[in-house]
Protein backbone atom coordinates (compact mmCIF):
# COMPACT_ATOMS: atom_id res chain seq x y z
CA UNK A 1 0.00 0.00 0.00
CA UNK A 2 1.21 3.48 -0.81
CA UNK A 3 2.74 5.60 1.92
CA UNK A 4 1.14 9.01 2.48
CA UNK A 5 3.05 10.44 5.43
CA UNK A 6 6.50 9.37 6.49
CA UNK A 7 8.48 10.66 9.48
CA UNK A 8 12.08 9.61 9.99
CA UNK A 9 13.85 10.43 13.27
CA UNK A 10 11.99 13.71 13.62
CA UNK A 11 12.79 15.93 16.61
CA UNK A 12 11.46 19.33 17.49
CA UNK A 13 11.93 21.76 20.38
CA UNK A 14 10.59 25.16 21.35
CA UNK A 15 13.30 27.38 22.85
CA UNK A 16 15.48 24.36 23.73
CA UNK A 17 12.56 22.58 25.42
CA UNK A 18 12.18 19.28 23.58
CA UNK A 19 8.61 18.68 22.42
CA UNK A 20 9.10 15.75 20.10
CA UNK A 21 11.97 13.27 20.19
CA UNK A 22 13.02 10.96 17.45
CA UNK A 23 9.66 10.17 15.91
CA UNK A 24 9.21 7.54 13.26
CA UNK A 25 5.84 7.11 11.65
CA UNK A 26 4.36 5.79 8.45
CA UNK A 27 0.80 6.40 7.37
CA UNK A 28 -0.64 4.50 4.45
CA UNK A 29 -3.25 5.43 1.92
CA UNK A 30 -6.16 3.54 3.52
CA UNK A 31 -5.38 4.52 7.10
CA UNK A 32 -7.71 6.22 9.52
CA UNK A 33 -5.29 7.29 12.21
CA UNK A 34 -5.86 8.88 15.60
CA UNK A 35 -3.10 10.70 17.44
CA UNK A 36 -3.80 10.65 21.16
CA UNK A 37 -1.84 11.77 24.18
CA UNK A 38 -1.83 14.15 27.13
CA UNK A 39 -1.96 17.93 26.75
CA UNK A 40 1.50 19.25 26.02
CA UNK A 41 2.46 15.86 24.59
CA UNK A 42 3.10 17.47 21.22
CA UNK A 43 -0.02 16.51 19.25
CA UNK A 44 -0.61 19.91 17.70
CA UNK A 45 3.10 20.37 17.08
CA UNK A 46 3.16 17.11 15.16
CA UNK A 47 0.21 18.30 13.05
CA UNK A 48 1.96 21.59 12.33
CA UNK A 49 5.08 19.75 11.22
CA UNK A 50 3.07 17.56 8.85
CA UNK A 51 1.30 20.65 7.50
CA UNK A 52 4.63 22.38 6.94
CA UNK A 53 3.92 25.37 9.16
CA UNK A 54 6.79 24.27 11.45
CA UNK A 55 10.16 22.83 10.47
CA UNK A 56 11.75 19.92 12.36
CA UNK A 57 15.11 20.49 14.09
CA UNK A 58 16.28 17.11 12.96
CA UNK A 59 14.94 14.30 10.82
CA UNK A 60 12.90 14.18 7.71
CA UNK A 61 9.19 14.47 6.95
CA UNK A 62 7.66 13.64 3.63
CA UNK A 63 4.04 13.86 2.56
CA UNK A 64 3.15 12.17 -0.71
CA UNK A 65 6.88 11.74 -1.24
CA UNK A 66 7.68 15.47 -1.17
CA UNK A 67 8.26 18.09 1.55
CA UNK A 68 5.19 19.16 3.55
CA UNK A 69 5.37 22.65 2.06
CA UNK A 70 5.04 21.27 -1.44
CA UNK A 71 2.34 18.80 -0.44
CA UNK A 72 0.28 21.47 1.34
CA UNK A 73 -2.20 21.94 -1.44
CA UNK A 74 -3.14 18.29 -1.37
CA UNK A 75 -3.98 18.35 2.34
CA UNK A 76 -7.39 19.30 3.67
CA UNK A 77 -7.02 20.70 7.17
CA UNK A 78 -9.83 21.15 9.70
CA UNK A 79 -8.87 23.29 12.70
CA UNK A 80 -10.83 23.36 15.95
CA UNK A 81 -14.03 25.26 15.25
CA UNK A 82 -13.95 27.09 18.58
CA UNK A 83 -11.01 29.24 17.41
CA UNK A 84 -13.12 31.49 15.25
CA UNK A 85 -14.63 34.83 16.08
CA UNK A 86 -18.38 34.36 16.52
CA UNK A 87 -19.07 37.89 15.31
CA UNK A 88 -17.34 37.51 11.96
CA UNK A 89 -19.77 38.59 9.22
CA UNK A 90 -19.71 35.51 7.05
CA UNK A 91 -22.21 32.86 5.93
CA UNK A 92 -21.63 29.11 5.99
CA UNK A 93 -21.46 29.02 2.19
CA UNK A 94 -18.79 31.71 2.16
CA UNK A 95 -16.64 29.79 4.63
CA UNK A 96 -16.79 26.79 2.33
CA UNK A 97 -16.13 28.94 -0.75
CA UNK A 98 -13.01 30.28 0.91
CA UNK A 99 -11.54 26.82 0.54
CA UNK A 100 -11.26 27.52 -3.19
CA UNK A 101 -9.15 30.67 -2.82
CA UNK A 102 -5.63 30.47 -4.15
CA UNK A 103 -2.81 32.96 -4.47
CA UNK A 104 -4.07 33.91 -7.93
CA UNK A 105 -7.70 34.42 -6.87
CA UNK A 106 -8.20 38.12 -7.41
CA UNK A 107 -11.25 40.40 -7.32
CA UNK A 108 -14.67 39.67 -5.79
CA UNK A 109 -16.24 36.87 -7.70
CA UNK A 110 -16.01 33.16 -7.21
CA UNK A 111 -16.29 31.23 -10.47
CA UNK A 112 -19.38 29.07 -11.16
CA UNK A 113 -17.07 26.10 -10.79
CA UNK A 114 -16.11 27.22 -7.26
CA UNK A 115 -19.78 27.63 -6.36
CA UNK A 116 -20.58 24.19 -7.70
CA UNK A 117 -17.72 22.58 -5.77
CA UNK A 118 -18.81 24.38 -2.57
CA UNK A 119 -22.42 23.31 -2.91
CA UNK A 120 -21.39 19.73 -3.66
CA UNK A 121 -19.23 19.63 -0.55
CA UNK A 122 -22.07 21.06 1.54
CA UNK A 123 -24.51 18.54 0.05
CA UNK A 124 -22.17 15.70 0.90
CA UNK A 125 -22.14 16.85 4.53
CA UNK A 126 -25.91 17.47 4.68
CA UNK A 127 -25.55 21.17 5.38
CA UNK A 128 -26.74 22.61 2.06
CA UNK A 129 -29.76 24.16 3.79
CA UNK A 130 -27.46 26.14 6.09
CA UNK A 131 -25.71 27.91 3.21
CA UNK A 132 -27.03 31.40 4.01
CA UNK A 133 -26.87 31.15 7.80
CA UNK A 134 -24.26 33.23 9.55
CA UNK A 135 -21.37 31.03 10.65
CA UNK A 136 -21.44 32.34 14.22
CA UNK A 137 -25.08 31.26 14.63
CA UNK A 138 -24.43 27.59 13.80
CA UNK A 139 -24.21 24.88 16.44
CA UNK A 140 -20.88 23.23 17.23
CA UNK A 141 -21.60 20.19 15.08
CA UNK A 142 -22.77 22.32 12.17
CA UNK A 143 -19.64 24.47 12.36
CA UNK A 144 -17.53 21.35 12.31
CA UNK A 145 -19.31 20.18 9.17
CA UNK A 146 -18.82 23.56 7.52
CA UNK A 147 -15.08 23.39 8.22
CA UNK A 148 -14.88 19.83 6.91
CA UNK A 149 -16.71 20.97 3.76
CA UNK A 150 -14.18 23.81 3.38
CA UNK A 151 -11.36 21.28 3.62
CA UNK A 152 -13.01 18.97 1.07
CA UNK A 153 -13.74 21.66 -1.48
CA UNK A 154 -10.11 21.74 -2.57
CA UNK A 155 -10.33 17.99 -3.39
CA UNK A 156 -7.61 16.98 -0.93
CA UNK A 157 -5.82 13.66 -1.01
CA UNK A 158 -5.40 13.63 2.77
CA UNK A 159 -7.65 14.98 5.51
CA UNK A 160 -6.25 16.17 8.83
CA UNK A 161 -8.51 17.18 11.71
CA UNK A 162 -7.54 18.74 15.04
CA UNK A 163 -9.91 17.56 17.81
CA UNK A 164 -12.89 17.33 15.44
CA UNK A 165 -15.35 16.69 18.24
CA UNK A 166 -14.10 19.02 20.96
CA UNK A 167 -17.10 20.76 22.58
CA UNK A 168 -19.85 18.90 20.75
CA UNK A 169 -22.27 16.43 22.35
CA UNK A 170 -21.94 12.68 21.95
CA UNK A 171 -24.65 12.37 19.30
CA UNK A 172 -22.87 14.90 17.10
CA UNK A 173 -19.57 13.22 17.87
CA UNK A 174 -21.02 9.94 16.61
CA UNK A 175 -22.32 11.65 13.43
CA UNK A 176 -18.99 13.29 12.71
CA UNK A 177 -17.09 10.01 13.06
CA UNK A 178 -19.58 8.14 10.89
CA UNK A 179 -19.05 10.81 8.28
CA UNK A 180 -15.27 10.56 8.54
CA UNK A 181 -15.46 6.80 8.22
CA UNK A 182 -17.39 7.25 5.01
CA UNK A 183 -14.83 9.74 3.70
CA UNK A 184 -12.08 7.33 4.66
CA UNK A 185 -13.32 5.07 1.85
CA UNK A 186 -11.66 7.54 -0.50
CA UNK A 187 -8.87 9.34 1.35
CA UNK A 188 -6.61 8.72 4.34
CA UNK A 189 -7.63 10.59 7.49
CA UNK A 190 -5.53 11.71 10.42
CA UNK A 191 -7.15 13.10 13.55
CA UNK A 192 -5.97 14.39 16.88
CA UNK A 193 -8.21 13.26 19.70
CA UNK A 194 -8.26 13.12 23.47
CA UNK A 195 -10.67 10.23 23.66
CA UNK A 196 -9.25 6.88 22.55
CA UNK A 197 -12.23 4.88 23.81
CA UNK A 198 -14.53 6.57 21.39
CA UNK A 199 -12.31 6.82 18.33
CA UNK A 200 -11.08 3.23 18.56
CA UNK A 201 -14.28 1.92 17.02
CA UNK A 202 -13.60 3.98 13.92
CA UNK A 203 -9.85 4.18 13.41
CA UNK A 204 -7.48 1.42 12.41
CA UNK A 205 -4.30 2.94 13.80
CA UNK A 206 -3.59 4.70 17.08
CA UNK A 207 -0.54 6.87 17.61
CA UNK A 208 0.23 7.48 21.29
CA UNK A 209 2.24 10.64 21.60
CA UNK A 210 4.04 12.02 24.62
CA UNK A 211 7.31 13.49 23.38
CA UNK A 212 7.98 10.05 21.98
CA UNK A 213 5.64 8.02 19.91
CA UNK A 214 4.22 4.55 19.82
CA UNK A 215 2.01 3.14 17.10
CA UNK A 216 -0.67 0.54 17.76
CA UNK A 217 -2.92 -1.30 15.40
CA UNK A 218 -6.34 -0.73 16.83
CA UNK A 219 -6.94 -4.50 17.05
CA UNK A 220 -3.92 -4.82 19.35
CA UNK A 221 -5.66 -2.77 21.98
CA UNK A 222 -7.79 -5.27 23.85
CA UNK A 223 -11.43 -4.71 24.73
CA UNK A 224 -10.58 -4.67 28.39
CA UNK A 225 -8.01 -1.97 27.85
CA UNK A 226 -10.55 0.18 26.05
CA UNK A 227 -13.17 -0.25 28.75
CA UNK A 228 -10.58 0.68 31.27
CA UNK A 229 -9.55 3.64 29.20
CA UNK A 230 -13.08 4.92 28.97
CA UNK A 231 -13.17 5.40 32.72
CA UNK A 232 -9.85 7.18 32.94
CA UNK A 233 -8.35 7.88 29.56
CA UNK A 234 -5.39 9.92 30.79
CA UNK A 235 -3.98 7.14 32.93
CA UNK A 236 -4.28 4.72 30.11
CA UNK A 237 -2.47 7.06 27.74
CA UNK A 238 0.31 7.66 30.20
CA UNK A 239 0.58 3.96 30.82
CA UNK A 240 0.77 3.26 27.11
CA UNK A 241 2.94 6.09 26.00
CA UNK A 242 5.51 6.77 28.66
CA UNK A 243 7.76 4.11 27.13
Identity of the residue, 151 or 183, whose beta carbon is nearer to other proteins in the bound complex:
151
Tell which one of 1, 2, 39, 85 touches other proteins (CB under 8 A).
85
Angular region, 64: left φ>0, alpha ψ -120 to 50, beta rest: left
Contact criterion met (CB below 8 Å) for 68 and 52: yes
**In the complex, what is the shortest distance from the CB of residue 73 to other proteins, in angstroms, rounded to a whole number?**
6
Contact criterion met (CB below 8 Å) for 77 and 49: no
End-to-end CA gap in the chain: 29
Told to check if 17 binds other proteins by CB under 8 A, we report no
Identity of the residue, 69 or 239, whose beta carbon is nearer to other proteins in the bound complex:
69
CA angle in degrees (0–180, nearest 5) for 136-138-143: 90
- Which 167-186 residues touch other proteins, going by CB under 8 A? none
**In the complex, what is the shortest distance from the CB of residue 75 to other proteins, in angstroms, rounded to a whole number?**
7
What is the DSSP code (8-state) at residue 84? Answer: S
**In the complex, what is the shortest distance from the CB of residue 237 to other proteins, in angstroms, rounded to a whole number?**
26
**In the complex, what is the shortest distance from the CB of residue 206 to other proteins, in angstroms, rounded to a whole number?**
25
Contact criterion met (CB below 8 Å) for 214 and 56: no
**Residue numbers at the binding site for other proteins (CB under 8 A):** 51, 53, 72-73, 75, 77, 79, 84-85, 87-91, 94-95, 98-99, 101-103, 105-108, 110, 132, 134, 150, 154
Amino acid sequence: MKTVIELQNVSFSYDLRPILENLNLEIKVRDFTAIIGPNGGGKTTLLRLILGSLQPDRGNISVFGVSPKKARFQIGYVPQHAFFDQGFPITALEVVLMGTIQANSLFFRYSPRDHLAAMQAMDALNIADLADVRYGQLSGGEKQRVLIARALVGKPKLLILDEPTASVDSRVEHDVYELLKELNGEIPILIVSHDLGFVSSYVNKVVCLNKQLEVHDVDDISKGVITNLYKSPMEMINHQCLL
